[in-house]
Structures are given as C-alpha cells and as structure tokens.
C-alpha cells in the first residue's frame, strides 16, 4: 500500500513529487523519498527520510534544493525490512544509473537475491525491491523496455514500478502487475501515481494501466506496450471525483474500501508463503523438532485480535491436536497465569503497539517462553520484541473498525495450523494438499461474497432502527459471531451480544421478544441440525432471524426470515467467509443511521494506553 508519484515536464519535479506524496498520506507510510534527474550534473539525486513526510520536506527545503524536471517519489509502508532510511525508496543499482520505486511484494525475491549474491553483488537494504533494480541493471543493454520485460518474466508477486534510467534522462517508465498505477497528462507535463489524489491538483485526465502493461512517458508523449512489446491504444478517462472521494478510491468510506480490499490482501498474506504447493514459514525460525516439542499454545489479543484467536483455537485444536488457550491481553497480564514451559505464545495485533498486548508479551518473555508476533506494522514494538514475527500484509488500515487486518490475521493463523499439523503428523499429504488448495481459494470466494452486497444493504437499511441484536452460533460460528457483534456495536452504536447458541436456554433467551433481530450462523456441517433447532427456538419467541449459512443449505429458508449464503469451504476456514457479510451488515446499518463509519465515537485505531 505504498504511494508512488512520478513527473516529467516543464516544472521543477521535486515540489510536485512532495505535493503528490502528501495527497497519498492516507495510505499510511513509515518513510519517504524522492529521486530527481539533475541534468547539469548528469546524475540522479536521491533524498530519503524515515518518518513523516515533513522530514523529507525539511531535508529538501520543500523540494527547492533538488533540481530537475523529471523524478519519482515514494511513501513506504514497510513489508521487508524495518522502517529506515536505507530501506526506504527510491532504490539505486550499484553505479546509481537506475532508480526505482515499488509498491507490492516480490514473492520470489529471496532466491533471486541469493543468485545475485552468488555473483558477488552486495545488497545494502533488507527490501525485496532492491532485487528488482539490480535485475534491471543486469538485463539493461541500452534499451529500457527490453530490460523491464525481462525482469517482468522473472519476478513473481505484485508490483507497480516507477523507473528512471540516467542514460535516458527525459524518459520515465512505469509497469504494473496486481498493484494500482495510473498515468496522468496535462499541458505542464505527464505523471504516474498509485492513485488519483496524487495528481488531481494538476490534471483530471488519466489513463489506467492494466496488468502487465508498460508505460513510456516523456514531457510531450505517453506510449503503452504489452509484455510482448506490442503498442497499446488506451482510452483516456476524465476523473470527476473530489479530492476526498479520490483518496477513498471512489468508495464512500475507508471502511468499505478496506472491506473490498480483502481478496487482495488475503492473497498477499498467503501467496508469498506458498512455494510449489507447500507452506513455507521461514519467519518462524522453528525446527521441526521444536514444533513437535510444543505442549500448549497461548494466543493473546484485544478486541478483534482476540476474536481471531478464538477462531484459531478451534482450527488449531482440531487440526494440530495441541491444546490452545486464548486470553484477552488485559486479563492475561494481571491473572498471574500458569504456563507450560514447553509452549508457544502468539501475540496478535494490527498496529503492533497495543499496550496490553505488549505488556503480555513482556510478561511471557520474562518466563522464558518463546513468543511469535502476528502483526501488520513492520518495525512496531511487538514485532521488535517478539522472538519471531509473522507479518500480515494488509497494508495501512485507516478505518477504526478493523476488517482487512482481521482477515489477514486469520489466514496467518490458518497457515500456522496447517504447517504445525503436517510437521506433527496429524494430517497426511492428501489432507495437507486439500487444505493448502482451499486456503488459496479463499480470496476468490471472498470476492464472490462481495457481489451480494445489495441484498445485505437492503436488509441492513430495514433493520437500522433495531435496539438490540443477538448473534448466535456454535463452534467456529460462535467465534465469528463475536466479531460480527463487535463490528455492529462499534460503528452503529446498537447494543448487540454474541452467544453460544447452546447457552440460550441458560438465561439469555429471556431477552428475546417480538421483533428482536437474531443473526444466526450455521456454517459447520456437524452442528447444522443443532443450529436449526436454536433458530426455531428464538423464532418461536418472536425473533426475526437473519441466517448465514453455506451454499447448498437451501432448506434454511424454511426456518429463517432472511438468508445469506457463502461459498463452501473447509469448516475450519469458515470464519474467513462468514465474517464478510457481517462486516457489510454492520457497515450498512451504521450508514443508514448516519453514523461516522470510519471514526466511531470514543474509539481509537491503535490503543497504546492501558
């Protein structure tokens, strides 16, 4: 989710680059940099700074000290390597004749890097991006497009690249695969950018680069090519969004934008860790013997991260056959827990700065127990203090209510469970392959669910005046219900509670009365008939039932009042699909009530105080 800006034209480039980067700050970043071709000295000048964009402005005098009419700029959201000046973009090749900026993840960067290192090439950063610039140098023989195409054929993953070659001083190159990139045009010059807001001040006329397309841009021309170097004719689009809408990619709120980003970020978290059909978790730094020696797993988190832990508990205990304890960090740190010395603790946090979770981590480490962090922010406190870290590559999450970070945390736990189960001999090769294949299928299945948003929106608007909503489920569905309930209450301010459906008769069913909305989850085949009984139970007391089940369970419509279906998956992965309609339901209820969806009252994105 890094931000890219590039410019070639009549004006000084640096101030335009800095202004464009400022318009992309909403994407989140930890460092920034610009590269500008200095015609007088025939060199590419690069200035980079860790932290906020203001630090880069201070270093360059708001861009006035960096002279040149062509350049590229970047705000970095760290994925490979901690936030630092060295790891920030733009990156150089060895003789500083090529400079690039990159948004995305190069999945096979490690073997490519090792191959280049075997030839004596030294790397100065920890990034996957530096591999690309050295590959460009290796394949460059005077023709930039030829070199770019050769690199495209050898790298795997997602990328949007802005590239400058010193030997081609008036030319800017761009290429993309699965990461957004646009080209803008105006009388004052031409632009590249990750997103429309970066260039709206200068132009509303843009071209959208499609996958595996290359753009060659000069002050007065724009050319497009496919990967076979065939010219492409593209239609220009005139953008009619205002600035705020543009930052949200045309979505009304960041939360909705982030809900729709889930297929991509779930894939980003899964795909780089699967090689030839096998899960590879080098970040664990655990031998098979160490994994086999684990007696118990502790999962600690707050809010939605805690709910991820509950879903992971069901999956890991069933698949790995290791007992799993799940704790709220705020309770764990004060209850003086009894811990098995041969155990693994997992701390889950989007920001990596959650105060209670960080305190729990320190308590666990003081007992000599190994800690794995599952976090989204590279270089955060939990990432630094954990023994090892499994990063979720969700990119920056702006809305306070988590959606895509939650989903990436889930799949990180799934991968961990599958890997542990295989190492410990709890699943055979056939089961392993089935689980990996189904894991890879989750992004497309999430995308299918998003296509049903109109029905969910209609239902949400109908029940936006509800005073109380009850979420019920069994097993994995109970854990999912807790997240669905939290989403609804935190952004719509409607009182909602999640109950284990089998517990209804032990008191909570007394709260059900005519018109009460119950959201019933039934995605677990072994528990489906029991959930039908629970639905009949609440409906007979006057409740209106919104049922969520898997495709094929069409008899649910005889029992419920409104039914949403999700694609079939392995029962242990059900939360990844079932949570999507619940996120949409919460969002559309809040929207219908006129609530501030992205910034609900009294809540903060990163809870850094106790």
In this prediction, residue 609 carries a pLDDT of 44
1, pLDDT greater than 70: no
In this prediction, residue 378 carries a pLDDT of 78
In this prediction, residue 608 carries a pLDDT of 44
Q: At what angle do helices 129-139 and 109-118 cross, to 10 degrees?
A: 50
Is the pTM higher than 0.95? The answer reads no
In this prediction, residue 606 carries a pLDDT of 58
Q: Is 605 a catalytic residue?
A: yes
What SS3 class is residue 51? coil
pLDDT band at 486 (very low <50, low <70, confident <90, very high): very high
**Could you tell me the CATH superfamily of domain 451-593?**
Glucose-6-phosphate isomerase like protein; domain 1 (3.40.50.10490)
**Given 216, 568, 593, 605, the catalytic residue:** 605
> What's the pLDDT tens digit per position in 333-385?
888 889 999 999 999 999 888 889 999 999 999 999 999 999 988 778 898 89
**Given 2, 413, 572, 595, the catalytic residue:** 2
- The answer to whether domain 255-449 has CATH 3.40.50.10490 is yes
Q: Is 302 a catalytic residue?
A: no
**Could you tell me the CATH superfamily of domain 3-247?**
Aminohydrolase, N-terminal nucleophile (Ntn) domain (3.60.20.10)
In this prediction, residue 607 carries a pLDDT of 59
Is the separation of the CB atoms in 217 and 183 below 8 Å? yes
> What's the pLDDT tens digit per position in 459-478?
999 989 999 999 999 999 99
Categorise residue 542: left if φ over 0, alpha if ψ from -120 to 50, beta otherwise: left
575, pLDDT greater than 70: yes
Question: Which residue, among 126, 124, 155, has the nearest Cα to 138 in the 3D structure?
Answer: 155
Q: How far apart are CA 354 and CA 381, in angstroms?
A: 9
- Judged by average pLDDT, the poorest of 19-33, 177-191, 311-325 is 19-33
Is the separation of the CB atoms in 53 and 22 below 8 Å? yes
Tokens representing residue 393 in the block: 């590559």
Beta-bridge partners for 481:
none
In this prediction, residue 514 carries a pLDDT of 83
Q: What is the DSSP string of 183-201?
A: EEEETTEEEEESSGGGTTT
Q: What is the DSSP string of 564-609?
A: EEE----GGGHHHHHHHHHHHHHHHHHHHHT--SSS-TT--SS---
Share of the chain above pLDDT 90, in %: 79
Beta-bridge partners for 205:
238
Give the CA radius of gyration of the chain.
Answer: 25
Same fold, 255-449 and 451-593: yes
* Residue 108, φ and ψ in degrees, nearest 5: -105, 30
Provide the mean pLDDT of the chain: 93
pLDDT band at 99 (very low <50, low <70, confident <90, very high): very high
Is the separation of the CB atoms in 382 and 392 below 8 Å? no
In the chain, what are the domain boundaries?
A: 3-247, 255-449, 451-593
The answer to whether the Cα torsion of 313, 319, 322, 323 is positive or negative is positive
Is the separation of the CB atoms in 14 and 6 below 8 Å? no
Beta-bridge partners for 163:
100, 173
């Amino acid at each position: 989710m890094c931000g890219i800006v590039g410019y070639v034209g009549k004006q000084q480039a640096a101030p335009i680059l800095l202004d464009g980067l400022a318009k992309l700050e909403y994407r989140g970043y930890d460092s920034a940099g610009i590269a500008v071709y200095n015609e007088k000295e025939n060199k590419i000048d690069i200035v980079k700074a860790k932290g906020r964009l203001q630090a880069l402005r201070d270093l360059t005098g708001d861009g006035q000290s960096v002279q040149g009419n062509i350049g590229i700029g970047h705000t970095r959201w760290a994925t490979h390597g901690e936030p630092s000046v060295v790891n920030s973009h733009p990156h150089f090749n060895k003789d500083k004749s090529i400079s690039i900026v990159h948004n995305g993840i190069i999945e096979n960067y490690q073997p490519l890097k090792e191959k280049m290192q075997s030839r004596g090439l030294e790397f100065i950063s920890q990034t996957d991006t530096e591999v690309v610039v050295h590959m460009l140098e290796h394949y460059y023989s005077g023709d930039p497009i030829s070199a770019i195409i050769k690199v495209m054929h050898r790298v795997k993953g997602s990328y949007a690249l802005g590239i400058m070659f010193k030997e081609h001083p008036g030319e800017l190159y761009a290429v993309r695969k699965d990461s957004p990139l646009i080209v803008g045009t105006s009388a004052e010059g031409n632009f590249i950018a990750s997103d429309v807001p970066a260039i709206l001040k200068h132009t509303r006329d843009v071209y959208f680069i499609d996958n595996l397309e290359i753009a060659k841009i000069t002050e007065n021309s724009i050319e497009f090519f496919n990967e076979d170097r065939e010219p492409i004719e593209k239609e220009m689009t005139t953008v009619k969004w205002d600035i705020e809408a543009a930052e949200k990619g045309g979505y009304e709120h960041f939360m909705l934008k982030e809900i729709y980003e889930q297929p991509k970020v779930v894939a980003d978290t899964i795909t780089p860790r699967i090689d030839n059909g096998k899960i590879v978790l080098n970040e664990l730094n655990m031998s098979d013997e160490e994994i086999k020696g684990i007696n118990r797993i502790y999962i600690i988190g707050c809010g939605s991260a805690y709910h991820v832990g509950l879903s992971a508990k069901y999956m890991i205990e069933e698949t790995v056959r290791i007992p799993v304890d799940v704790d709220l960090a705020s309770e764990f740190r004060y209850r003086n827990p009894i811990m098995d010395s041969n155990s693994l603790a997992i701390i889950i946090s989007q920001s990596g700065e959650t105060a209670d979770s960080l305190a729990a981590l320190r308590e666990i480490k003081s007992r000599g127990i190994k800690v794995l962090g599952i976090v989204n922010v590279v270089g955060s406190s939990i990432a630094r203090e954990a023994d090892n870290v499994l990063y979720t590559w969700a990119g920056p999450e702006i809305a306070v209510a988590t959606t895509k970070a939650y989903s990436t945390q889930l799949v990180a736990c799934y991968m961990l469970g599958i890997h542990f189960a295989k190492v410990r001999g709890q699943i055979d090769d056939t089961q392993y392959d089935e689980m990996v294949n189904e894991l890879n299928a989750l992004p497309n299945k999430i995308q299918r669910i998003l296509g049903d948003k109109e029905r969910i929106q209609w239902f949400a608007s109908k029940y936006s005046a509800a005073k109380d909503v009850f979420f019920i489920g069994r097993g994995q569905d109970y854990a999912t219900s807790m997240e669905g309930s939290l989403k609804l209450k935190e952004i719509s301010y409607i009182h909602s509670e999640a109950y284990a459906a089998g517990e209804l008769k032990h008191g909570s069913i007394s709260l059900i009365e005519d018109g009460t909305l119950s959201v019933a989850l039934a995605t677990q085949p072994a528990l489906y008939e029991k959930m039908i009984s629970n639905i009949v139970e609440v409906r007979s007391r006057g409740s209106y039932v919104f049922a969520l089940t898997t495709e094929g369970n069409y008899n649910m419509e005889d029992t419920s009042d409104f039914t949403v279906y999700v694609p079939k998956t392995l029962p242990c992965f059900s939360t990844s699909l079932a949570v999507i309609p619940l996120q949409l339901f919460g969002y559309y209820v809040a929207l219908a009530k006129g609530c501030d969806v992205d910034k609900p009252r009294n809540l903060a994105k990163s809870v850094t105080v106790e």
